[in-house]
Amino acid sequence: MTTTAPAAVPPAARSTVTAHPDTATPPGPVAAGAKRVLLAAPRGYCAGVDRAVIAVEKALERYGAPVYVRKQIVHNRHVVESLEARGAIFVDDVAEVPRGEHVVFSAHGVSPAVVRAAAERGLQAIDATCPLVTKVHREAVRFARDDFQILLIGHHGHEEVEGTAGEAPDRVTLIGSPDEADTVEVRDPTKLVWLSQTTLSVDETMETVRRLRARFPQLADPPSDDICYATQNRQVAIKQVAPQADLVLVVGSANSSNTVRLVQVALEAGAGAAHRIDDAGELDPAWLEGVTTIGVTSGASVPEELVQRLLTRLEQAGFPVADEVRTAEEDLVFSLPRELRQTAAGVRDPRALGGRA
């Protein structure tokens, strides 16, 4: 597998139905018992993931192998294995990186302690943190400075949560689920604000906030939505598809929070069944028995080629070319880390402003 631009799907390979999120069933009626595949859009790579993957590719081109990466650059096994094949070395701690080498911080962000540790080792750090995660970090710093206790909604042990909490460890209290909102203890209920991990289920996060506000009416909101646009868009899209689907297949790795949430959202929206798979090779033929309508989507760290391989496998199993159900357009791109905006010769790289050439 390569991590070059996600493969464009030829126009003849699918039809597209544009559906507003608030409307009912997007595609028209089909004959009873007729098989169909509904392909949710948006899906796959978001701007932050694309930027992070390109950052590692550019670092390898610019500095040569090896380039070290702290943690997985994004949570996708195929992407990581592809970059490893090109010379990237993934480590859990910057202490594993030889002094003076280049190290890329993953899209999930790092705490100030990690930044200091890298500097102390003389590492040449390239920060590929998603700008939307950086926004949450800045919010944490500002609210801590203003003497707020920060109720951070997120998953225990997730790298993004660790990075955000590290900005103000004495001010952050982690809320891992709606039930934890019922028992959390606070210092001063008049000086509270909630922030969130960017890749959560929108519905579950709002339920957590509802329970928190029932206990603490003066709970302040973040200045803008912390759950990223791509996470929300992918959840809205699968909500359109799921009620019509006997089976929903979500492509993505098990450690991808937003991918796992898509399975949960699909089931809550009415899918008959939903499974996460890393790639087409994990498709269980038994899942297809008695199924007429299949919904397909992918997490925000998944190359489009993996989705296309799954669609090919479904066609081989007797399902027709997919109908794409689109609920939003995405055109956001993020500029590359400043160290990578020029080539070694000092020429501005055509990908400097983000996205693939």
Please pick, among 57, 159, 160, 162, the residue that the annotation labels catalytic: 160
Active site residue 282: no
d(CA 339, CA 341): 6
Dihedral (C-alpha) 211, 214, 220, 225: value to the nearest 10 degrees? 40
Positive or negative torsion for Cα 275, 278, 283, 284: negative
Contact between 120 and 95 (Cβ < 8 Å): no
Between CA 288 and CA 292 the distance in angstroms is 8
- Residue pair 206/153 in contact by the 8 Å Cβ criterion: no
Angle, CA 184 vertex, CA 182 and CA 189 arms, to 5°: 100
Phi-psi region of 87 (alpha: psi -120 to 50; beta: other; left: phi over 0): left
Q: What would you measure as the largest C-alpha separation in the chain, in angstroms?
A: 66
Nearest to 3 by CA among 259, 304, 280: 304
Q: What are the catalytic residues?
A: 160
